[in-house]
Chain A
Amino acid sequence: MNRRARDRWIYRAVWLGCFLPIPLLTWWFYNDELGANPAKEGLHYLGEWGLRFLALGLAITPLRKLPGCGWLLRFRRTIGLFAVSYIALHLIVYVALDQGFDWAEIWRDIVKRPYITFGMLAFLLLLPLAATSTNAMIRRLGARRWRSLHKLVYVIAPLGVLHYDLLVKKDASWPHFYAVVIAFLLGYRVVDAIRVRMARRTRASFQQPRLVQ
């Protein structure tokens, strides 16, 4: 098998892996294995997968810097788009099954209940990222602007965790788990940015004599 064919197979396997929660959910639903309240179960399931994919997407940047892991970057877009898709499905289940298309009540929810406000805000902020995910859009925006736009995910992921944490009645151990993971992934970036800046400054001080020359 040549390299391109192998890459294609790896890509298909990753895509299938990311998609797997959907046939699983469908299977469980048809076999009545989602418990007495499948609407709530499905709602939470989709939301949690959305959050997992957000965290996974954020993990790729640090992980790809490990030796031999550069290839991971190729999957960042796929994972990001799966995150958006799961969160969109989560929202659809909320609107259709949880609220029964009661738009007035949904609006009240958005305005009155902070966890819904944060969740909805996170989804809205994800839309421009999904819309600019194509190669053509990256070219049109320019890599620099594209990159700063996509830093929105640093806001979106914590909003997602907050949305989850505010919703649970008691026993917030899972939301706290995701909070720690995402704090770690964002904290890494802060440390990395400081390191880069310090390195640049050191380099600049070396260059100074040449400048006054």
Chain B
Amino acid sequence: MLIRRPHDIKPSEITDRKLYINRRTLIASAGFAAGAAAVGLPVQPREARAAPLASVPSPLSTAEAPTPKNKITTYNNFYEFGTDKGDPAENAGSLKTSPWSVAVEGECAKPATYTLEDIMKGETLEDRVYRHRCVEAWSMVIPWVGFPLANLLKRVEPTGNAKYVAFETLYDPKQMPGQRSSDLTWPYMEGLRMDEAMHPLTLLAVGLYGETLPNQDGAPIRLVVPWKYGFKGIKSIVKIRFQAEQPKTAWNIAAPGEYGFYSNVNPNRDHPRWTQKKERRIDGNSRLGTMIETAMFNGYGDQVASLYSGMDLQKDF
């Protein structure tokens, strides 16, 4: 009689390759850091190291070639760390992303402060390769990792009075030195109409290129709304509030004539100071990128145009 012996090693005990590779580099770099400190070499300040994320592909991804990672992580508008595109990559090391929690407030059945782990619990992370169109007329293709915002919103059960969702970024000038200047009103604020927030394309991103978000790209959790200009994608979120009134938004307060609440990508409505008809796609093809025509709703019109039927998008820009 053949008695099947159970396997010595259960599948659950096998370490994922990505994880142990990462562990090795961590140990190696820790050793290097200790050695460097011993001989008096400057040691880089500790930053949250990118950790691999398990994710599944999504049919909502574009097939366009993603922008190289080093461009996505060195060309950022994140005024909390400075107004130059290179500032966030240089300065965002001071942001502490763990522990992290998000306060959920307002018109919902389960308002509370949730830890990042609570928020991600039970969520299947997806690879969402989205076009990203900045209001400054440049664009990228970004392979985000995240889950639909709708999943989180449904879990906290918004009430009938919840017409809009307001978001806030962390306010802490010690960690975010740019907040000492008055370039914008702090904390950074954004908002969506409820139907926009619940749309399947609307993403809470926690990663980029298969790893946790670099700080300069909005770690540990940020919003991605691919049919709107990039500044709607609020970074490093600490507050989500359901409310009946349209939320105030940071750029709209700064320049109401230039940045509307909706800020849908719209080649037919110019920014007062430049055209929105075309964009420079920052890509891996050439150093200068490629000039392309901008598409209505950033090419997501089939999925989202119905949200705005009957609205005058020249007026509600």
Contact = CB atoms under 8 A, between A and B. Distances in A.
A97 B288 contact: yes
A105 B277 contact: yes
Contacts of B4: none
B273 A37 contact: no
Contacts of A97: 288
A166 B72 CA distance: 27
B186 to A, nearest CB: 13
Interface residues of A, number: 21
Contact of A37 (B79, B181, B280): B280
Given A105-B275, A115-B273, A38 B287 contact: yes
Given A35-B74, A40-B138, A105-B275, A170 B291 contact: no
Interface in A1-56: 29, 32, 35-40
B184 interface: yes
A37 B277 contact: no
Interface in B247-273: 254-255, 270, 272-273
Interface secondary structure of A, over-half rule = helix
Contact of B184 (A105, A166, A170): A170
A108 B274 CA distance: 10
Contacts of A62: none
Contact of A35 (B85, B183, B254, B291): B85
Given A35-B86, A170-B79, A171-B183, A100 B273 contact: no
Contacts of A37: 75, 85, 138, 280, 282, 289
A171 B181 contact: yes
B83 A39 contact: no
Contact of A113 (B181, B274, B288): B274
Nearest to B79: A170
B244 to A, nearest CB: 30
Contact of B273 (A105, A108, A113): A113
B133 to A, nearest CB: 14
A75 to B, nearest CB: 32
Contacts of A100: 278, 291
B183 A170 contact: yes
A39 B289 contact: yes
Nearest to A170: B183
Interface in B72-104: 72, 74-75, 79, 83, 85-86
A170 B75 contact: no
B121 to A, nearest CB: 35
A203 interface: no
A168 B270 CA distance: 16
A167 B71 contact: no
A38 to B, nearest CB: 6
Nearest to B291: A100
Interface string B275-314: 1011010100001110100000000000000000000000
A37 B290 CA distance: 10
Nearest to B258: A169
Contacts of A36: 67, 71-72, 74-75, 85, 282, 289
Nearest to A29: B287
Interface in A87-108: 97, 100, 105, 108
Interface of B: 67, 71-72, 74-75, 79, 83, 85-86, 136, 138, 181, 183-184, 254-255, 270, 272-275, 277-278, 280, 282, 287-289, 291
Given A36-B85, A113-B273, A171-B181, 14 more contacts: A29-B287, A36-B74, A37-B75, A37-B85, A37-B138, A37-B280, A39-B288, A39-B289, A100-B278, A100-B291, A109-B275, A113-B272, A166-B273, A170-B83
Interface of A: 29, 32, 35-40, 97, 100, 105, 108-109, 112-113, 115, 166-167, 169-171
26 contacts: A35-B85, A35-B86, A36-B72, A36-B75, A36-B85, A36-B289, A37-B75, A37-B289, A38-B287, A39-B280, A39-B288, A39-B289, A40-B138, A100-B291, A105-B275, A105-B277, A108-B275, A113-B272, A113-B273, A113-B274, A115-B273, A166-B273, A169-B136, A170-B83, A171-B83, A171-B183
